[in-house]
A and B are shown apart, each in its own frame.
Chain A
Amino acid sequence: MNSSVIVFPGSNCDRDIAVALEKMQFKNKMIWHKETKLPKSDLIVIPGGFSYGDYLRSGAIAGKSLIINEVIKAANEGCLVLGICNGFQILTETGLLKGALLRNKNLKFINKDINIKVINNDTKFSNKYKKNQILKINIAHNEGNYFTNPDHLKELNNENLIAFKYCNKNGDINKDSNPNGSLENIAGIFNSKKNILGMMPHPERMVDNLISNTDGVNLFSSLLN
């Protein structure tokens, strides 16, 4: 499977995701944001970091970069697109995913391992997980507070477009297990065709028992399935 990781000035999880992809046998290429052509890709990843120093709004400037036109084109043709952390913010700024990521409710940058629950496991991104499986995964963000309008929230629920929700280690989804104030504890969403996933947690940090755990591995093996 061919993958492309888009690199912006300020991306800082690009090498981590490349290591994770290569470990899972993806043939990966790094693509600088000034490129105007994408190599043939089955998967495009927009990595985490602080593209353009989060100027204006997180992801706003990257969302208008040259390569993004190609990403939008490929996404509309059905290519799989994964946006992690800043990548999720960028995808909402491009309009490929609806909604927006606001400043964390407690105004703090949060970097810790938390739990999320797999809500929809019937997608290209999540088929190797069990429904309601609880994962331990790292988050590291300042703007992860997912917000959208009531109509879209209804659509997310009715069409099963919520990928992950924040929970505690017992799987309870409530205010106490919501780290950043996200609507309905949402940690990740799909677009309506389910070929685009945006998520705040970092699956690429959870692919090796030596440094963390392997709870992120199944996301990548799902894609290969």
Chain B
Amino acid sequence: MSQPSSRASLLAGARDTVPMLVGAAPFGMIFGALVGTTQLAPWQGQMMSLSVFAGSSQFIAIGLLAGQAGLGVIWLATLIVNLRHMLYAASLLPHVRHLPPRWRWLLGFLLTDETFAVVDSYYRQHPHAPQGHWYFLGSGLAMYLNWQCWTLVGLVFGAAFPQLQTLGLDFAMVVTFIAIVVPQLTRLPNFAAAVAAGSFAYLLKDWPYKLGLLIAISIGVGLGVLLTRLHNRAKTKRGLA
């Protein structure tokens, strides 16, 4: 079997990412429109999409900026929310380890939930694809360009209708997050972690610099880990009996 060219791999990566592009579009647009509800100028909103390129942390930063959070809290939240990418990178590492550093930095920058899903499934089907990094690049670039376009559309939309803010446009973020969270609540530890994090976030909401938010997240994560461990232990015991 002949190997596909680098160009063919690039295009294949972009093509296989098309469903993810459609899924990301409304989020990019909502993000762009929400920029108008903060003290950020439109160009700073686009700069965030260009330089940060991580949807959930961009949404969180917007929420925190609107709530007058401190710089340190925003950076810490960015760190925590993005940690999951390290798990993605660890599972893709065998396929990028041989590349020169500039390739590894570039693919790392372009790594997102969506590109991970597409590229991981590609590597599972083609474990020894010598042009796999071009496929990865194609998927990442497609997501990147898509995110920039929809951010811009949202920014223009938000600027054209400034009264959206008084209508409570920030509620778009709430429903967006609900759409992400609810499907994950089927497991009990996830459900308990979410309830704990939500309750403490409410109880501690008046702490300075949104520090209460970080405490609430820690309590939720701690409870989730505890319940998972108890559950696993009970399962092991049952298995032995």
Q: Do A and B come from one complex?
A: no
Residues of A within 8 A of B (CB): none
